[in-house]
């Protein structure tokens, strides 16, 4: 049975990352339970991630901004809007709840762009870029640092930074190095008041 991974953002939630079928490129990842490889070799191969935002409503301009931010930040993977010849693997939809991303593999999934977070004062461009970070394989990092895109809601409503930092960029490059997706080992992220960003290995 195929298992989804879910990243709950800007609220208490759960992020589950589970590996799919193994491949030779994934063998190096199996020994890294909670960290990303950092070495990236320059190359000409790029992984294209096709997305569609027809159901994103008022978020479409934020989607355009966020995809442009990621495309200008990383070299190994690029977001491109789907068309009649290229089926979308990423779907962005507007919802009334909290932002949330479901993905079963880096480069694919569903992003729910929740209006509730915006109504509480969080930045829509930052939310969108953050959620696309999950699509690219990044987990939440609730360290309160506004410079870190994946710090999410922990940086507060005054934080409007919608760009990944150097570490986040390096992690994405490593995941998609040479056009391949590095499979992540199974782990569960839970964020609650008692133990923020607690890491539970599954």
Q: Which of 52, 115, 131, 168 is catalytic?
A: 131
Rounded Cα distance between 129 and 65, Å, is: 8
Q: Identify the CA nearest to 16 among candidates 105, 112, 145, 96.
A: 105
The question of whether 131 is a catalytic residue gets the answer yes
Strand partners, 113: 94
Which residue is associated with the tokens 């461009």? 125
Rounded Cα distance between 124 and 112, Å, is: 12
User: Tokens in use for 158?
Assistant: 């005054």
Q: Identify the CA nearest to 182 among candidates 196, 195, 194, 171.
A: 171
Rounded Cα distance between 100 and 115, Å, is: 11
Catalytic residue numbers? 131
């Amino acid at each position: 049975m195929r298992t989804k991974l879910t990243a709950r953002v800007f609220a208490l939630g759960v992020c589950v990352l589970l590996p799919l079928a193994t491949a030779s490129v994934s063998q190096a990842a199996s020994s890294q339970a909670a960290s990303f490889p950092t070495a990236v070799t320059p190359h000409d191969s790029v992984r294209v991630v096709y997305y569609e935002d027809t159901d994103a409503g008022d978020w479409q301009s934020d989607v355009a901004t966020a995809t442009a931010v990621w495309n200008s930040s990383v070299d190994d993977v690029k977001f491109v809007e789907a068309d009649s010849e290229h089926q979308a693997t990423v779907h962005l939809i507007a919802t009334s709840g909290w932002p949330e991303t479901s993905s079963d593999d880096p480069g694919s999934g569903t992003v729910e762009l929740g209006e509730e977070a915006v109504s509480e004062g969080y930045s829509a461009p930052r939310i969108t870029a953050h959620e696309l970070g999950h699509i690219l394989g990044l987990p939440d990092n609730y360290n309160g640092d506004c410079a870190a895109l994946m710090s999410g809601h922990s940086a507060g409503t005054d934080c409007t930074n919608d760009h990944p930092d150097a570490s986040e960029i390096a992690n994405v490059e490593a995941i998609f190095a040479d056009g391949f997706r590095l499979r992540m080992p199974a782990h569960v992220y839970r964020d609650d008041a008692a133990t923020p960003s607690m890491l539970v290995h599954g």
